[in-house]
């Protein structure tokens, strides 16, 4: 793995090393809006150039479109020069005659449907299809994706199937990805989990993961990759109508986000830079993955990640009641 300007972290005891900043590839699957093919390639190339060589995708993202586009954009690049994560738990199938696609927020998708499948055969078939779309022989990380309502199948077949793939060295690290930190905490406590992807529950606005997931991960040696650092956009632009958890933000959260932005401005720190840095206050956090739909957004996230954030900012946020006093605060930098 080449030098990364953000530093790197090892996931659990797997030997998989990731840069601290990665690219979330849901936008490559046309999340909410269509992204032209050429621009999707430029987004991936911008991430490679910026050193954010950790790519997180899934069959769910655009019904396979994200994986296909990511694979095309990475073609010709040394497989050892980047880290690749995808997900299982949703198997894709062709649409039946007369069946309408359900994009689930993704637009202009291939003519496919999702099937919830945590069976051993389903896990293997899903991963094999992902490898074909990505154009690679192996991925580094595989998560069981949004399986909070399938826990019986997870315990009986889903996680054992992933553990078998890890034992066979088909994948190097396994875990779970979802935005329910309490469910993740239970799974980490019960199972031999290398890494979890937790979205939106450990941010400047949301401490839930500190109260359930993060202590268990620290105790078990499980690494955390943080997603949703901007809470669906509220911490990116706290203006009226801003989203939080994919719905319009409640008034009290919008007001708090604006107060956070005001204090950050006093220190010359963009709110987004503080939001990106904040999760790294906890030692279990290995990396953050941030989505981007344009090369400019990739460059902006890279610059924000490097933006100096003084200790005084965090202590001021605590003093003004915008952060709880028991929160672990990031190191200066």
Nearest of 173, 174, 232, 214 to residue 327 by alpha carbon: 214
* Largest CA-CA distance found in the chain, in angstroms, rounded: 61
Task: Report d(CA 88, CA 91) in Å as an integer.
Answer: 7
Residues 6+ apart with CB under 8 A from 308: 269, 333
Residues 6+ apart with CB under 8 A from 301: 21, 52, 272, 276, 290, 292
Residues 6+ apart with CB under 8 A from 173: 11, 12, 14, 16, 140, 141, 142, 166, 194, 195
Is 61 labeled as catalytic in the residue annotation?
A: yes
| Residue 321, burial from CB neighbour count under 10 angstroms (0-12, 13-18, 19+) | exposed
Reduce the DSSP state of residue 216 to 3 states and report it: helix
CB 234 within 8 A of CB 247: no
CB 6 within 8 A of CB 18: no
CB 129 within 8 A of CB 92: yes
Task: Report d(CA 332, CA 310) in Å as an integer.
Answer: 5
What are the angstrom distances between the C-alpha of 205 and each of 138, 256, 307, 320? 36, 8, 20, 14
Q: Which residue has the tokens 């933000």?
A: 249
Catalytic residue chosen out of the listed positions 6, 61, 143, 230: 61
Task: Report d(CA 166, CA 164) in Å as an integer.
Answer: 5
| Catalytic (active-site) positions | 61
């Amino acid at each position: 793995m080449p030098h990364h300007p953000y530093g790197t972290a090892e996931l659990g005891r797997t030997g998989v090393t990731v840069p601290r900043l990665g690219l979330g590839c849901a936008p490559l699957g046309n999340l909410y809006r269509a992204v032209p093919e050429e621009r999707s390639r430029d987004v991936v190339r911008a991430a490679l150039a910026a050193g954010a060589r950790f790519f997180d995708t899934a069959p769910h993202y655009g019904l396979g479109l994200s994986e296909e586009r990511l694979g095309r954009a990475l073609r010709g690049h040394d497989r050892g020069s980047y880290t690749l994560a995808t997900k299982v738990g949703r198997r894709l199938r062709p649409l039946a005659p007369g069946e309408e696609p359900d994009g689930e927020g993704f637009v202009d998708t291939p003519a496919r449907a999702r099937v919830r499948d945590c069976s051993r055969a389903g896990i293997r078939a899903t991963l094999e299809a992902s490898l074909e779309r990505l154009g690679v022989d192996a991925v580094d990380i595989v998560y069981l994706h949004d399986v909070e309502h399938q826990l019986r199948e997870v315990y009986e077949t889903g996680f054992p199937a992933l553990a078998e793939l890890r034992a066979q060295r088909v994948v190097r690290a396994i875990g779970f990805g979802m935005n329910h930190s309490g469910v993740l905490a239970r799974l980490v406590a019960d199972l031999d989990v290398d890494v979890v992807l937790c979205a939106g529950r450990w941010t400047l606005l949301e401490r839930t993961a500190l109260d359930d997931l993060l202590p268990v991960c620290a105790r078990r040696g499980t690494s955390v990759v943080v997603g949703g650092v901007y809470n669906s956009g509220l911490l990116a632009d706290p203006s009226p109508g801003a989203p939080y958890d994919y719905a319009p933000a409640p008034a009290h959260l919008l007001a708090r986000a604006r107060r956070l932005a005001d204090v950050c401005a006093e220190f010359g720190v963009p709110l987004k830079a503080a939001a990106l840095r904040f999760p790294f206050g906890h030692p279990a956090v290995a990396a953050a993955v941030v989505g981007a739909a344009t090369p400019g957004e990739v460059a902006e996230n890279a610059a924000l990640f490097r933006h100096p954030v003084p200790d005084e900012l965090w202590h001021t946020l605590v003093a003004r009641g915008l952060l709880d006093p028991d929160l672990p605060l990031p190191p200066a930098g």
